[in-house]
Amino acid sequence: MLRGREKHMKRRLDRKHYRRKAQRGWRNKVLASYLLVLGLVTGCISARAADAAEVEAHLKAAFVYNFARFVEWPPAAGSGPVRIAVLGRGDLGAPLEEVVRGKSANGRLIEVERINVLAQSDCCEILLIERSEMKHLKEIVASLSGKPVLTVCDGGSCFRDGAMIAFQIADESVRFQINQEAAEHGGLHISSQLLKVAISKGGSGK
């Protein structure tokens, strides 16, 4: 009798888990459609991104592409390609390469380069910090403080640790926080359109 109840409870928990997973995927797709209307996502979510994890990764990649479009760098950055360096191992490098392939931002082509050490990030405009590097985030941010490099990281405590943009899951949807103080300190100007979409903005932890 007890074993039967345990099986029944397990089935209920499994159904609840899959229902929440499907709901999260649905919410992400709704958010993607909403941002498409705003002009912040340009229809680059892959048709192959069928499950919630893939949709989430492609949404984050699409956001990174749009960060390149809605952030202004100092004139010294020149008119060459917008270089995005992906530091470490995680889920975002491959979707990002797919999303930006053949695209440009404000007349500048976009290039993606995967790097293994921070020293290789000297010539990039955007540094995407993968989850494998979260334990080094404070030193990464400190070493780039005041430089015109937009630091973007994937969740955790990276907003509190000083990254300029941090992805978060809010209401089961992909959102992001903006550390406007850190961006301004690096000489970057973030468009008001991007600020409107952020769930919080200001200094670290605000």
Domain boundaries, the chain: 2-202
Neighbours of 2 (CB within 10 A): 6
Reported as a single tens digit per residue, the pLDDT across 52-88 is: 788 888 889 999 999 999 999 998 767 789 999 999 9
Task: Provide the β-strand partners of residue 108.
Answer: 105
Q: Which residues contact 77 (CB under 8 A, 6 or more apart)?
A: 125, 148
List pLDDT tens digits, range 141-189.
999 999 999 999 987 678 888 899 999 888 778 889 999 999 999 999 9
For residue range 87-134, list pLDDT tens digits in order: 998 889 999 999 999 999 999 999 999 998 888 777 899 999 998 898
Task: Find, among 157, 172, 167, the residue nearest to 199 by Cα.
Answer: 167
CA nearest to 167, candidates 149, 155, 151: 155
